[in-house]
């Protein structure tokens, strides 16, 4: 039996509520969820409720927040709490995306706080880790991603870890057109999976993100270490996204 796969779309700062509804209107007709596949959407905060409503009722489809703040409420202008995201229809949350880390300066400690808030708030977290180009060239890839992972999950109980999904997204491959080879990704996925098992996660799932597109998704997912993909720009077109999530994987791909 084929392993379960997750196809996660990160819309970043694109698609306002009207555009999100238009995407859903184009995507829904004829869409038949495949057994063993899940389909996750991460719209911008202002489109979260519209996206959740427009995709409601589709089997194995879930919607999440791109970021949350760790405090439950208060004077934090511009921030979104877990409860606010959940109230808008989120059942997932993206945590520690490279753009939060490297554009907005999010620290490992802040990522850890967000992860705990998401777990406490009952959402499923998708935790992102990844190295920059100078780290890869210096042979520090495993050290960097494992540091980010351990900083986030330290002290998290095994029962909560079971809900965690991790995405490996090499920063040098995001939005650049450069993609880690399946073998490159598999090596890092193995290291992450082993660390998660040592921490008590019995069935760790690790996705790959970084310039994934319709042309390379089948090749990437043919690698057994990859449990799915986290897709940015290529997820914004409903027809292109449909072709990606319907990609055949394995000997017949």
Active site residues: 97, 169
> What is the CA angle 31-123-38, rounded to 5?
25
Residues in CB range of 175: below 8 A, 6 or more apart: 211, 232, 233
Residues in CB range of 204: below 8 A, 6 or more apart: 164, 166, 192, 193, 196, 197
**Alpha carbons 112 and 93: distance in angstroms, whole number:** 13
Residues forming beta bridges with residue 173, ordered by sequence position: none
**Alpha carbons 182 and 190: distance in angstroms, whole number:** 12
Termini Cα distance of the chain: 16
Query: Dihedral of the CA atoms 189, 190, 194, 200 (nearest 10)?
Result: 40
Token code pair at residue 136: 């890869």
CB 232 within 8 A of CB 175: yes
């Amino acid at each position: 039996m084929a392993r379960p796969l997750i196809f996660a779309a990160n819309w970043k700062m694109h698609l306002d509520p009207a555009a999100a509804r238009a995407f859903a209107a184009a995507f829904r007709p004829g869409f038949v969820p495949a057994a063993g596949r899940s389909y996750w959407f991460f719209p911008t905060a202002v489109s979260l409720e519209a996206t959740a409503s427009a995709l409601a009722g589709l089997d194995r489809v879930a919607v999440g927040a791109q970021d949350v703040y760790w405090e439950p409420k208060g004077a934090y202008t511009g921030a979104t709490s877990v409860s606010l995201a959940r109230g808008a229809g989120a059942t997932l949350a993206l945590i520690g995306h490279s753009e939060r880390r490297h554009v907005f300066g999010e620290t490992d400690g802040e990522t850890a706080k967000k992860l705990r808030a998401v777990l406490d708030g009952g959402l499923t977290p998708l935790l992102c880790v990844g190295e920059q180009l100078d780290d890869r060239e210096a042979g520090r890839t495993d050290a960097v991603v494992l540091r980010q992972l351990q900083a986030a999950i330290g002290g998290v109980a095994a029962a909560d870890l079971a809900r965690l999904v991790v995405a490996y997204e090499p920063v040098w491959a995001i939005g650049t057109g450069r993609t880690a080879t399946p073998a490159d990704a598999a090596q890092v996925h193995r290291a992450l999976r082993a660390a998660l098992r040592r921490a008590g996660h019995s069935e760790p799932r690790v996705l790959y993100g970084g310039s994934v597109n319709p042309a390379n998704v089948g090749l990437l997912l043919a690698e057994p270490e990859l449990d799915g993909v986290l897709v940015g720009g290529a997820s914004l077109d409903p027809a292109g996204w449909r072709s990606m999530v319907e990609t055949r994987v394995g000997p017949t791909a």
